[in-house]
Amino acid sequence: MRRKDFNRTRPEGRVVPRWTVTLAFATLSVGLVACAANPGTGRSRRGMSEEDEIAQGRQAAAEVEQSMGFAGSAELNAYVARIGQRLAKHSSRSHLEYEFHVVDMKEPNAFALPGGYIYVSRGLLALMNNEDELATVLGHEIGHVAARHSVQRQAKSRPWIPLQILAGIGGAAASVVSPALGSAVAGAGQLPAALAMASYSRKQEEEADRLGQQYAAVEGWDPAALASSMDALTREQQLEGGGDPYRRSFFDSHPTTPDRARDARAYAETLSVGPTDRIAIDRSAFVGRLDGLVVGESARAGVFLDRRFLHPELEFAMSFPAGWEHANAPTAVVARPEDESALLALQVAGEGDDPMAVATQFDSEIPLLERSGLEEINQLPAVTGVARIVDRRQEIYLFLAWIAKDGLVYQVLGAAPASRWSSHRPRFEATARSFHQLLEAELREVHENHLRLVEAGRGETLSKIAARSGSQWSPAKMAVANDITVQSKLSGGESIKISKRERYQTAP
């Protein structure tokens, strides 16, 4: 099978998969730091020139693209960009080259990077019910860029995924093995630096709300729609937000107030709205554009089916030890037993078809105690080895396997303290030796949920529609996504958004 174009082309033209060892998220400091402007001088308080701001934004944008990736069809992205560009030309910084993208994030979110890079998540799009909502949210983000809002770093950063792999043996072993590996495994639990736990102030939110509403109004979109977007976000947060401290959605970086939606409605009343020129003329045209959008977890970057990890785009599968907890993070797939006495990480260690070259490179950094010759793991060229490191007086053994497939060399790393090495080594080895080319039958097991539309019948309720359509969303979630209530009786003919479980389709 040939390689799919799932891989992202980086600015320098190298093709790198979504998770790779080369990204050191933890050490990147660029981000939403746009620096407040000093009016009149055009320079920020920190003396950052616009040129520097754009350069910083570009770097962060490359990181967002690589670590999160984009979502939605080319048509949908072009649609979002068309709306964004119409708004941006009314901002006080209309000379910036704005970019608009749909980002592959299941939570509802939108964010802006310095220099004019603006993103809306697929999770937020799925909640929207008309173009005016989209326009006001994009306008809000443009407002942050226009006003050069700086973000305030929160004192405490929370991990992105619910697996504290940094703790104990994992982080220690990984950081000693090589700086790149260390930061990759460390980064496995982190948000991309571009989203590094930063938030605007309430005052900045208010300013961005107003600016966004102004831009939307001039272009003929209803500025009051910002309020309905906020309502949708609030309803979603109430429904989904509880119990998961790792969730990152809009209000984490854009703090809200109880009166925000009311204020937005009141402010909208004061604006004069230009002639209507919507691209999607009504609700049904708008939600029609969302048809097919992935909702919930995306399978594009691989999925766990129990202890098996299947990657439908890179076309491989590997089985982790039974009973271990695992996570699929942007830079690595990681797993560990409940007692945290070991760590397994699967990463991309290099490009090419020669696992020996990668093993030799590793050996030059950490001497290998044992190294196999060139062998095969399920018909794929491979090299295995063992290394020992001492970290904080603790002796840690590493099992390594490098496996070449389709132009990438994968690294399976198992780490355990000396006292647990003999019991864990067979598990590490078995894990590495389970790595294989994805089978057709396995590909057929990979599913994800897509936003689909069903036409409501006269007098139907959401529960009825959920039952007949097989919606994976509960009626409560459908109510939020469709901006109605669970009790609503539909008049018939409405396009109702549902979430449908469908077999994963690889990129054409």
In the bound state with Zn ion, the residue whose beta carbon lies nearer, of 208 and 287, is 208
Give min distance, CB of 53 to Zn ion, in A: 18
Please, which residue, 254 or 326, has the CB nearer to Zn ion? 254
> Which residue, 233 or 409, has its beta carbon nearer to Zn ion?
233
What is the strand order of the sheet 436-437 is part of?
A: 303-305, 308-311, 316-319, 436-437
Among 115-123, 158-166, 254-262, 397-405, the segment contacting Zn ion (CB under 5 A): 254-262
Pairing of the two strands 15-16 and 8-9: antiparallel
What's the closest the beta carbon of residue 141 comes to Zn ion, in angstroms?
7
In the complex with Zn ion, the residue whose CB is nearer, 18 or 254, is 254
Cβ-based nearer residue to Zn ion, 35 or 165: 35
Task: Name the one range near Zn ion by CB under 5 A: 24-32, 253-261, 287-295, 386-394.
Answer: 253-261
> Read out DSSP for 22-81?
T--GGG---SS----EETTTTEETT---HHHHHHHHHHHHHHHHHHT-B-S-HHHHHHHH
d(CA 57, CA 170): 32
Is the Cβ–Cβ distance between 220 and 271 less than 8 Å? no
Whether 71 and 104 have beta carbons less than 8 Å apart is answered as yes
Please tell me whether residue 208 binds Zn ion under the rule CB under 5 A: yes
CB of 487 to Zn ion, least distance (A): 32
CB 308 within 8 A of CB 318: yes
Q: In this chain, which stretch among 156-164, 207-215, 376-384, 427-435 interacts with Zn ion, using CB under 5 A?
A: 207-215
CB of 144 vs Zn ion, minimal distance in Å: 6
We find the least distance from the C-beta atom of residue 112 to Zn ion, in angstroms, to be 8
CB of 253 to Zn ion, least distance (A): 7
The mark string for 422-451 relative to Zn ion (x by CB under 5 A, - otherwise) is: ------------------------------
**Distance (Å, rounded) from C-alpha 159 to C-alpha 166?**
10
Q: In the numeric block, which tokens belong to residue 116?
A: 């004019």
254 binds Zn ion (CB under 5 A): yes
As a dihedral over the C-alpha atoms of residue 478, residue 481, residue 487, residue 488, rounded to 10 degrees, the angle is -120
Q: Is residue 151 a contact point for Zn ion (CB under 5 A)?
A: no
Which region, judged by CB under 5 A, interacts with Zn ion, from 6-14, 40-48, 208-216, 447-455? 208-216
Q: How many CB atoms lie within 10 A of CB 12?
A: 7
In the complex, the smallest distance separating the C-beta of residue 57 from Zn ion, rounded to whole angstroms, is 16
Residues paired with residue 496 on neighbouring β-strands, in sequence order: 454
Q: CB-wise, 209 or 494, nearer to Zn ion? A: 209
Nearer to Zn ion by C-beta: 205 or 483? 205
Q: How far is 321 from 346, CA to CA, in rounded Å?
A: 13
Nearer to Zn ion, 260 or 477 (CB): 260
Closer of 132 and 313 to Zn ion (Cβ): 132
- What's the first-to-final CA gap in the chain, in angstroms? 13
Q: Which is nearer to Zn ion, 252 or 460 (CB)?
A: 252
DSSP labels for 388-454? EEEETTEEEEEEEEEEEETTEEEEEEEEEEHHHHHHHHHHHHHHHHT-EEPPHHHHTT-EEEEEEEE
Q: In this chain, which stretch among 73-81, 201-209, 422-430, 491-499 interacts with Zn ion, using CB under 5 A? A: 201-209
Q: Which is nearer to Zn ion, 147 or 329 (CB)?
A: 147
By the rule CB under 5 A, 149 interacts with Zn ion: no
Instruction: Give, in order, the Cα–Cα distances in Å from 39 to each of 18, 36, 73, 147, 214.
Output: 40, 9, 40, 10, 20
Tell how strand 394-405 and strand 333-336 pair up: unpaired
Least spacing, CB of residue 485 vs Zn ion, in Å: 28
Residue with nearest beta carbon to Zn ion: 254
Side chain identity, residue 488: S
Residue 102 pairs in a beta bridge with 120
Span from 56-64, 203-211, 289-297, 485-493 in contact with Zn ion (CB under 5 A): 203-211
Question: d(Cα 173, Cα 391) in Å, to the nearest integer?
Answer: 7
How near is the Cβ of 466 to Zn ion at its closest, in Å?
A: 33
Q: How far is the CB of 226 from Zn ion (least distance, A)?
A: 11
Least separation in angstroms between CB 200 and Zn ion: 5
**Total residues interacting with Zn ion, rule: CB under 5 A:** 3
- Interacting residues with Zn ion (CB under 5 A): 205, 208, 254
